[in-house]
């Protein structure tokens, strides 16, 4: 560690600072991989979501759910909030595992966020590859609402 760096951080915080720096480097690597995969996927014409840096996803999620729980809930919420703010989609469907605590937590927070906007939103809890008739109706309703939202004149 350089002399300048050691002056900024006390001995007791040095280990935590090294861990934080190491984590940031790893996240940077993951973001680089994501951008590479997005370039590859874009060639298919099936990539619709805009790139959102992980730091934005993490920040938006942590505003609403602590990252200290070490679950996927803050990241799920953060991605929804970041994409909602970008206006990227006409509607959202949150698919989670049935009876999964982090998925249920994320769904509850996202539901509260969805009430603050006119963007259609549905939650589907499922285990396996089948959906119920009620879930199919939910998806159809979100699709119709999303189409209407897209087709209405701006303003």
- pLDDT digit string, tens, across residues 100-118: 888 899 999 999 999 999 8
Residue 7 clears pLDDT 90, i.e. is over it: no
What are φ and ψ of residue 95, in 5° steps? Answer: -105, 125
pLDDT in the model for residue 143: 94
Per-domain boundaries in the chain: 1-46, 48-155
Q: What is the pTM of this model?
A: 0.76
pLDDT tens for 18-63 read 888 898 899 899 999 999 999 999 999 888 888 999 889 999 999 9
DSSP code, position 63: H
What is the band of 68 on the pLDDT scale with cuts at 50, 70, 90? confident
Q: What is the structure's pLDDT at 49?
A: 85
pLDDT of residue 3: 54
Q: Which residue has the higher pLDDT, 150 or 6?
A: 150
What average pLDDT score do residues 57-82 get?
Answer: 91
* Nearest alpha carbon to residue 50 among 88, 90, 91, 92: 88
Identify the helix (H) or strand (E) that includes residue 124.
Answer: strand 121-126
| 2-to-6, 8, 14 alpha-carbon distances in Å | 6, 10, 12
CA gap 78, 55 in Å, rounded: 10
Which phi and psi (to 5°) does residue 16 adopt?
Answer: -65, -40
Contact 92, 123 (CB under 8 A): no
The pLDDT score that the predictor gives to residue 5 is: 59
Mean pLDDT across the stretch 71-93? Answer: 90
């Amino acid at each position: 560690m350089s002399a300048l760096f050691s002056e900024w951080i006390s001995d007791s915080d040095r280990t935590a600072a090294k861990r934080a720096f190491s984590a940031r480097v790893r996240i940077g690597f993951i973001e680089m991989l994501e951008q590479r995969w997005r370039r590859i996927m874009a060639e298919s014409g099936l990539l619709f979501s805009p790139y959102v840096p992980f730091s934005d996803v993490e920040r938006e999620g942590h505003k609403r759910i602590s990252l200290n729980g070490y679950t996927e809930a803050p990241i799920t919420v953060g991605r929804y909030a970041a994409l909602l703010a970008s206006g990227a989609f006409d509607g959202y469907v949150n698919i989670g595992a049935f009876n999964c605590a982090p998925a249920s937590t994320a769904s509850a927070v996202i539901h509260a966020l969805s009430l603050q906007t006119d963007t259609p939103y549905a939650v589907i809890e499922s285990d396996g590859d089948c959906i119920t008739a009620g879930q199919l109706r939910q998806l159809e309703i979100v699709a119709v609402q999303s189409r209407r939202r897209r087709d209405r004149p701006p303003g």
